């Protein structure tokens, strides 16, 4: 049977089957189907399921970790009685329960009680292991007789078949001790209108002298149960190690626990080897109760007499604890902890294996991530791309939930985030907009001073850092400095939300982060060197403005990006009297003049405009995205006006003019060469006319 969002789906149906109330143990339904199979084969089982109209398979109904509704139970009882055409079917099912092989653990527990009398005294608790719809009370019990009251809870329709089943179960108790079945008299039944069912039992008392085994005598049920329990343990061992998926193993552990100890509910709580949120799997409990129970289990707390709790531990490590949980006022029967412990040993061995496989898989993934990181860093083109590659690789290498890379800006004395990974859009926005300054963050001062990593926790950090950690949802952070020799480049940081962090942050986590940090530092040095070379190749060394090559590249992109109703213009600027400045004040003054001109032009144009130095005293201004053609003339006039104020050179005020040529385009079309040629020609016409403050 498949599942849809956790709900079973009936065979041949696309609709999920609602989860049934946990009212009848799978041990009961499994016992019934086993009896039908022994009497009529698989075809009889299939016919029972068809007549009962239950949307479950025989395999599911035999699973002792599954529970079913009382309605499903009675429908199966009725269908089995019809299919086998035997009115005593349910009595026989109950009478063969001990020898069925489905409740070996219960047989062993009952045998340890010593006598039928002790078993009947414990029977109310034992019944609660298989059903939640009724209450059993012992009205009287002696060495050879007992009177039992059995009452179905309100809201359930009583079935005489249920009484037949109960009579069969009660009769078989003495056989646990090698005695003949008990005689059961049932004269008061709820089906006849009585307030409860009353059962009177008598059985043969056991002789004080042990009986010798005779040839052909029935096999001792305890021996059968021991053999069956051994098979279950052996099967559990192979079943648990048969999967390398952690979720599947946890589910199998709980499912197999039902074969060791029958109970209404189970909880398995396991500590992760590296720390973080515990692994918890439960069956039969409201989801809201499970976290508190799991915390109690892992802290070594006591769940009371309503639970049987054992450690899941191997010779290598303590994994956690497993609990069989009963309803309020009820508890286990006999020494169930011993049976559950024997099984828990196999569970611990399976967890040893799965965690070892998980660790090996993680190591392989990390090695692959480191190799991939090296390749990606080699291909990164600039510092921003390098930081993005590192931030994306850190969660795979460190096994963290989020990562970030911040670069140090020495000119402004601050740390700014360049890349992040594993955060929500809002968390990313907060991190990318935040800056850390030494005066606000003692942690940053410490890192700048000693160049050592820092382990940060939101509750113990400085106010500025705490606000940032809380804003991005990180409770624990490990940060390492990115260094080029002794030069501080920035910080690589990994973080976890509360409860997810490994137990130790200063061991393997820190070592891995240092390794990635070293790679990142080398890549950042390379990226900055490439940026420097690229900048030198595309920018004027004297003024820092784009040179002719970069200016032409931007013009080409602007021309291609101009829409049909868009406008673009170019200003060609040539300084007047520049040669006179060089001749009278020297080349140093001429260089200073060019730097001041570059600064004035940069402060005059719009943010999206480009000012470039084409050659000597020739400058150009690219004006893309103009709203109307007339705007180009206004911008040209503003550029000319910035030369009205004298330049200060060698302690003197020097008047320097400018000749400006304007060329523009509306819509796409034209080439860079054509536009520059037009602007250059316009500039010369203006220079010849002696107009130094306007465009022609």
> What is the number of H-type helices and E-type strands within the chain?
21, 24
> What superfamily would CATH give domain 22-204?
H-NOX domain (3.90.1520.10)
Examine the pLDDT at 574 and tell me if it is beyond 90. Answer: yes
Distances (CA, A) of 181 to 20, 173, 403, 609: 35, 7, 70, 102
Distances (CA, A) of 631 to 294, 566, 659: 72, 12, 19
CATH code 3.90.1520.10 region(s) in the chain:
22-204
CATH code 3.30.70.270 region(s) in the chain:
548-688
CATH number for the domain running over 548-688: 3.30.70.270
First to last CA, the chain: 84
201: its two tokens: 């039992």
- Residue 300: left if φ>0, alpha if ψ -120 to 50, beta else—which one? left
pLDDT at res. 693: 45
Q: Are 436 and 415 in contact (CB under 8 A)?
A: yes
Calculate what percentage of the chain has a pLDDT beyond 90. Answer: 38
For residue 437, the 8-state DSSP code is -
**237-241, 278-282, 529-533, 660-664: least confident range:** 237-241
Q: Are 115 and 143 in contact (CB under 8 A)?
A: yes
pLDDT in tens, 55-106: 999 999 988 778 899 999 999 999 999 999 999 999 999 888 876 655 555 5
Give the residue-averaged pLDDT of 578-597. Answer: 92
pLDDT at res. 226: 45
Give the residue-averaged pLDDT of 300-318. Answer: 85
Pairwise CA distance, residues 469 & 437, whole Å: 15
Pairwise CA distance, residues 359 & 382, whole Å: 35
Residues 6+ apart with CB under 8 A from 214: none
User: Between 506 and 424, where is the model more confident?
Assistant: 424
Examine the pLDDT at 7 and tell me if it is beyond 50. Answer: no
Q: Which CATH class is domain 230-357?
A: alpha beta
pLDDT in tens, 202-222: 998 866 444 444 444 445 555
C-alpha torsion 82→88→93→94, nearest 10: 140
Q: Average pLDDT, whole number, for the chain?
A: 82
pLDDT in tens, 639-690: 999 999 999 998 889 999 999 999 998 887 778 999 999 999 999 998 888 6
Calculate what percentage of the chain has a pLDDT beyond 70. Answer: 83
pLDDT in tens, 343-370: 777 777 777 777 777 766 766 776 777 7
Examine the pLDDT at 236 and tell me if it is beyond 70. Answer: no
Task: Give the three-state DSSP class for 452.
Answer: coil
Confidence grade of residue 496 (pLDDT, cut at 50, 70, 90) = confident
Pairwise CA distance, residues 580 & 586, whole Å: 9
pLDDT at res. 244: 54
Give the residue-averaged pLDDT of 392-410. Answer: 88
User: Between 174 and 692, where is the model more confident?
Assistant: 174
Q: Are 221 and 175 in contact (CB under 8 A)?
A: yes
Pairwise CA distance, residues 254 & 609, whole Å: 68
Give the residue-averaged pLDDT of 622-636. Answer: 90
Residues 6+ apart with CB under 8 A from 576: 656, 657, 658, 659, 687, 692
State pTM to two decimals.
Answer: 0.50
496: its two tokens: 């976890």
pLDDT at res. 63: 82
Pairwise CA distance, residues 101 & 293, whole Å: 32
Pairwise CA distance, residues 30 & 34, whole Å: 6
**36-40, 91-95, 125-129, 197-201: least confident range:** 125-129
Pairwise CA distance, residues 673 & 556, whole Å: 10
Give the residue-averaged pLDDT of 174-199. Answer: 91
Measured at the CA of 502, the angle between CA 496 and CA 508, to 5 degrees, comes to 110
**Ramachandran angles phi, psi of 361, nearest 5°:** -65, -40
Give the residue-averaged pLDDT of 109-116. Answer: 68
pLDDT at res. 104: 54
527: Cα within 13 Å, side-chain hemisphere: 22
CATH code 3.30.450.40 region(s) in the chain:
230-357, 380-535
Give the residue-averaged pLDDT of 412-418. Answer: 92
Architecture in CATH for domain 380-535? 2-Layer Sandwich (3.30)
Confidence grade of residue 224 (pLDDT, cut at 50, 70, 90) = low
pLDDT at res. 192: 92
């Amino acid at each position: 049977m498949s599942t849809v969002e956790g709900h079973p789906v009936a065979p041949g149906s696309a609709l999920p089957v609602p989860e049934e109330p946990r009212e009848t143990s799978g041990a009961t339904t499994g016992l019934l189907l086993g009896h039908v199979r022994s009497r009529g084969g698989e075809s009889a089982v299939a016919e029972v399921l068809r007549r009962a109209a239950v949307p479950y398979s025989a395999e599911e109904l035999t699973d002792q970790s599954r529970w079913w509704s009382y309605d499903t139970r009675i429908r199966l009882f009725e269908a089995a009685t019809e299919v086998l055409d035997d009115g005593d079917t349910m009595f026989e099912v109950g009478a063969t329960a001990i020898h069925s092989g489905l409740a070996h653990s219960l047989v062993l527990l009952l045998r340890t009680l010593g006598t039928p009398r002790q078993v009947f005294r414990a029977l109310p608790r034992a019944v609660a292991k298989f059903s939640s719809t009724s209450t059993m009370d012992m009205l009287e019990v002696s060495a050879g007789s007992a009177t039992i009251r059995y009452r179905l809870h309100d809201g359930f329709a009583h079935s005489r078949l249920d009484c037949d089943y109960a009579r069969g179960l009660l009769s078989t108790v003495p056989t646990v001790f090698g005695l003949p079945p008990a005689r059961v008299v049932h004269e008061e039944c709820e089906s006849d209108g009585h307030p409860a069912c009353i059962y009177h039992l008598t059985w043969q008392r056991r002789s004080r002298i042990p009986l010798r085994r005779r040839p052909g005598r029935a096999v001792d049920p305890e021996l059968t149960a021991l053999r069956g329990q051994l098979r279950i343990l052996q099967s559990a061992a192979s079943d648990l190690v048969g999967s390398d998926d952690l979720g599947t193993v946890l589910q199998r552990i709980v499912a197999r626990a039902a074969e060791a100890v029958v109970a209404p509910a189970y909880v398995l709580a396991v500590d992760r080897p590296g720390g973080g949120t515990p692994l918890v799997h439960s069956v039969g409990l409201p989801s809201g109760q499970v976290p508190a129970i799991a915390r109690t289990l892992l802290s070594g707390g006591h769940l009371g007499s309503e639970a049987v709790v054992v450690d899941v531990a191997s010779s290598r490590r303590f994994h956690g604890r497993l609990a069989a949980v009963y309803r309020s006022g009820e508890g286990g029967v006999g020494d169930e902890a011993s049976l559950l412990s024997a099984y828990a040993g196999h569970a611990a061995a399976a967890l040893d294996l799965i965690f070892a496989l998980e660790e090996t898989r993680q190591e392989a993934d990390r090695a692959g991530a480191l190799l991939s990181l090296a390749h990606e860093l080699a291909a990164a083109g600039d510092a921003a791309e390098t930081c993005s590659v590192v931030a994306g690789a850190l969660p795979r290498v460190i096994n963290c939930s989020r990562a970030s890379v911040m670069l140090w800006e020495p000119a402004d004395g601050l740390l700014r985030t360049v890349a992040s990974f594993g955060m929500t859009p809002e968390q990313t926005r907060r991190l990318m907009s935040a800056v850390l300054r030494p005066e606000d963050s003692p942690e940053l001062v410490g890192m700048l001073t000693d160049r050592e990593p820092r382990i940060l926790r939101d509750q113990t950090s400085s106010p500025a850092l705490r606000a940032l950690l809380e804003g991005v949802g990180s409770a624990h952070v490990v940060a390492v400095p990115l260094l080029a020799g002794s030069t501080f480049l920035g910080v690589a940081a990994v973080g976890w939300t509360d409860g997810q962090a490994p137990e130790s942050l200063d061991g393997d986590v820190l070592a891995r982060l240092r390794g990635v940090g070293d790679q990142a530092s080398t890549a950042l040095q390379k990226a900055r060197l490439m940026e420097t070379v690229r900048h030198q190749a595309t920018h004027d060394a004297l003024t820092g403005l784009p040179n002719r090559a970069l200016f032409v590249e931007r013009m080409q992109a602007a021309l291609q990006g101009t829409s049909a109703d868009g406008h673009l213009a170019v200003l060609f600027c040539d300084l007047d009297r520049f040669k006179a400045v060089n001749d009278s004040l020297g080349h140093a003054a001429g260089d200073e003049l060019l730097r001041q001109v570059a600064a004035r032009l940069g402060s005059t144009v719009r943010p999206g405009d480009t000012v470039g130095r084409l050659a000597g005293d020739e400058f150009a201004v690219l004006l893309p995205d103009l709203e109307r053609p007339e705007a180009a003339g206004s911008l040209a006039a503003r550029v000319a006006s910035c030369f009205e104020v004298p330049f200060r050179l060698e302690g003197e005020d020097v008047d320097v003019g400018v000749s400006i040529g304007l060329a523009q385009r509306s819509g796409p079309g034209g080439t860079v060469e054509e536009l520059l040629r037009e602007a250059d020609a316009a500039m010369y016409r203006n220079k010849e006319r002696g107009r130094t403050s306007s465009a022609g």
